[in-house]
Structure 1
Amino acid sequence: MTRLPLRLAAAALGLLALPALARTAHAQAPAFPDRPVRLVVPYTAGGATDVGARVLAEALARVLPQPVLVENRVGGAGMVAAEFVIRAPADGHTILFNNTSHAVLRAVVPNASVDPIRQLSPVAILSEMPMVMLVSNGFPAADGRGFIAEVRAHPGKYDFGSTGGGGTLGMAALLFQRTTGLSMNEIPYRGGAPATLDLAAGRIGLVFDIALTGLQTARGGQARAFAVTGPARSPAAPEVPTWREIGVEAEMVVWQAIFVAATTPAPLQVALHAAVARVQQDEALRRKWTELGVDRVLALPPAEAAAYVQRDVERWEGLMASAPKP
């Protein structure tokens, strides 16, 4: 019976490290995947996280013997999706696709019945990208420095769209306001897509969006890109200055990652990471990620991914704990 995990890995992914898998397999496991895989997204369809999930799902479906389906489970600042994955069978068939917002989930929902940091394990960090500072076409400023000057001269006059403290839109806005001292009104949305629609219509003045969709919004003429939040200009939009170039002394990089329940057997996590690493090496997919605003295409394995996520948890939980309470 101990040969079954070897067939699991070899049949599904053609792994090279079969002896290592054999040493870690202590119990009988079914073939993986033996039914459709669910990629669970905490946000609405059409938003940046959803777009990233669908790009990955399409690529994985080409190398796995089962379909990969994207499922949107919105609510609780992402806790609804996290809890769903935690409570699903720990067999690798139910996967959470999330981004940096995962790092603040405990802080935003402190009394949840689950702990998403302890009860979910990152299988792979997929990408790094900046946020894009999108400003409505009708806002009375021509660039980022002009935007800051206008808002500083009229505190409380202008609105920005946010998915709350638990979303990257809200995280970027929090860091922006803490760094600049600007006063703007937060307008809550259930996802980046509806916030961007209101920005394009001129109902709000500012949205921070993941480059994955933010650059598309700017290129489509729906808004203007005044800055990116990364440490350097994005290769996908070298004409857009960084935050520091417009006078914001901060930076923010957004990562995307996949998670499974922490009790998922190690061989299944290794097998799933191998599938991700395989598709992430494809040049066509790498070009697609770059075109969508990704600065770094990654496939960090579980141990490195866990350390990476923990560093961001410590950073963002600390920032949120020190933020002024309303």
Structure 2
Amino acid sequence: MPLERFKKHKPPPVLCALAAVALCALAPPAFAQAAWHPDRPVTLVVPYAAGGGTDATARAVSKQLGMIWGQPVIVENMPGADGLIGTRRVMEAKPDGYTLVLQVPSIVITKYTPGLKGIDPLARLEPVTAVSMSPAAVVVSAKLPVKTFGEFVQYCKTAAQPCSLATGESLARVSAKQLAAEAGLPNLIVVNYRGTGAIVTDMIANNVNMAFTGITAALPHYKAGTLKILATQGPRRAAALPEVPTTAEAGYPQFQSVTWFGLFAPKGTPPNVTQGIVAALHEAVKDADVRKTIASAGAEPVVNTPAAFAAQVREESERMAALVKLYPLE
């Protein structure tokens, strides 16, 4: 399929204007004097395997939150079922602020995933706030003889063996089907993994060729020269990777995706509790070590109001619903 086909695509709407998000992160919250804080340990569920971007983000803020609250914030990894196992624990928890989940945009298409019986986690969760934001990236093994996204597509069209694409969650599987259909790669092999850590390991060995993934897990290996990041998927170049073009610059504007790492609480959690959590996070991301950890992962700290975060979630839900209609999960 000619490259011109891609240039005709209009970029999908951005989750929210990053400039506005930055202002949200800097502006003091109206509820800064919120009285709620925990009087016993808080559990922060990460519904994916250790080593990925969600896990790194959780661990970046949990220690500081614990210091602010004077109570431990325990990060608990519960991978499985595209994040539903860990998320379900929070869906069924008491809505009191003591059990939270850190999720990513793939949560919006859980209800479309075969085998999960149409369960919609968003119907039983309360959006609390974004914690950080990072553009997703097009990552390939450094062993491949390609330097650009376009070269990778051409390589896959002529390679003796079909190219393979690793996915760790449903959103990436939708993007994989979109790439296969729109780039003319009908033989693209999609390999499903339980976590980003295993994807990175296999890409370094070139057991799998490529992945759409967050910058977090790939960045240190990119710097070490064992992985290549061909493009980032935000509306502008990533601050951590100014030398890497965006997918739009590479001629593939439809592959635009910004990953938010967001906190959710059980549905029915009182507003004063969610506001207390946001107020504490606002303080947590001011910490130099927290900001350094988030920045080293290629992300930017972002803390917004429950209403603003809920709007982000709705926007992503609408965008992905349209894509799933074109490229249904199987």
Residue 252 (structure 2) aligned to one of 233, 236, 248: 248
Question: Which residue type is aligned with residue 227 of structure 1?
Answer: A
2:40 is the alignment partner of 1:35: yes
**Deviation >6 Å, runs of 4+:** none
Judged with a 3 Å threshold, the aligned counterparts in structure 2 of structure 1 residues 109 and 310 are, in CA distance, closer, same or farther, namely farther
Normalising by structure 1, report the TM-score. 0.84
1:158-177 equivalent positions in 2, closer than 5 A: 158-165=163-170, 168-177=171-180
Corresponding residue of 1:145: 150
Corresponding residue of 1:216: 220
Alpha-carbon RMSD across the aligned residues, in angstroms, is 2.2
Corresponding residue of 2:84: 79
2:261 is the alignment partner of 1:230: no
Residue deviations 1:285-309 (CA, integer Å, cap 9, x gap): 3343222111x42111111111110
Question: Which residue type is aligned with residue 240 of structure 1?
Answer: V
Whole-Å Cα distance in 1 between the matches of residues 288 and 329 of structure 2? 46
Judged with a 3 Å threshold, the aligned counterparts in structure 2 of structure 1 residues 38 and 319 are, in CA distance, closer, same or farther, namely same
User: 1:245 aligns to what SS in structure 2?
Assistant: coil
2:322 is the alignment partner of 1:318: yes
Judged with a 3 Å threshold, the aligned counterparts in structure 2 of structure 1 residues 324 and 17 are, in CA distance, closer, same or farther, namely closer
2:97 is the alignment partner of 1:92: yes
Pairwise CA distance, 1:324: 5.2
Q: Percent identity?
A: 29
Point out where structure 2 has 5 or more consecutive residues left out of the alignment.
1-30
Whole-Å Cα distance in 2 between the matches of residues 174 and 121 of structure 1? 30
Question: Which residue type is aligned with residue 106 of structure 1?
Answer: K
Judged with a 3 Å threshold, the aligned counterparts in structure 2 of structure 1 residues 229 and 95 are, in CA distance, closer, same or farther, namely same
User: 1:227 aligns to what SS in structure 2?
Assistant: strand
Residue 66 (structure 1) aligned to one of 66, 71, 83: 71
CA contact (8 A) 2:100 2:264 kept: yes
Corresponding residue of 1:182: 185
Corresponding residue of 1:8: none
The aligned length equals: 298
Question: Which residue type is aligned with residue 78 of structure 1?
Answer: G
Larger gyration radius, structure 1 or structure 2: 1
Judged with a 3 Å threshold, the aligned counterparts in structure 2 of structure 1 residues 155 and 268 are, in CA distance, closer, same or farther, namely farther
Structure 1 residues 176-185 or 201-210, which shifts more? 176-185
Judged with a 3 Å threshold, the aligned counterparts in structure 2 of structure 1 residues 34 and 175 are, in CA distance, closer, same or farther, namely farther
Normalising by structure 2, report the TM-score. 0.83
Judged with a 3 Å threshold, the aligned counterparts in structure 2 of structure 1 residues 156 and 170 are, in CA distance, closer, same or farther, namely farther
Judged with a 3 Å threshold, the aligned counterparts in structure 2 of structure 1 residues 161 and 111 are, in CA distance, closer, same or farther, namely closer
Whole-Å Cα distance in 1 between the matches of residues 305 and 201 of structure 2? 36
Structure scoring higher RCO (CA < 8 A, sep ≥ 6) equals 2
CA contact (8 A) 2:141 2:210 kept: yes
Residue deviations 1:40-93 (CA, integer Å, cap 9, x gap): 011101122111111121221221110111101111111111210011121111
Whole-Å Cα distance in 2 between the matches of residues 323 and 247 of structure 1? 21
CA contact (8 A) 2:134 2:259 kept: yes
1:254-273 equivalent positions in 2, closer than 5 A: 254-273=259-278
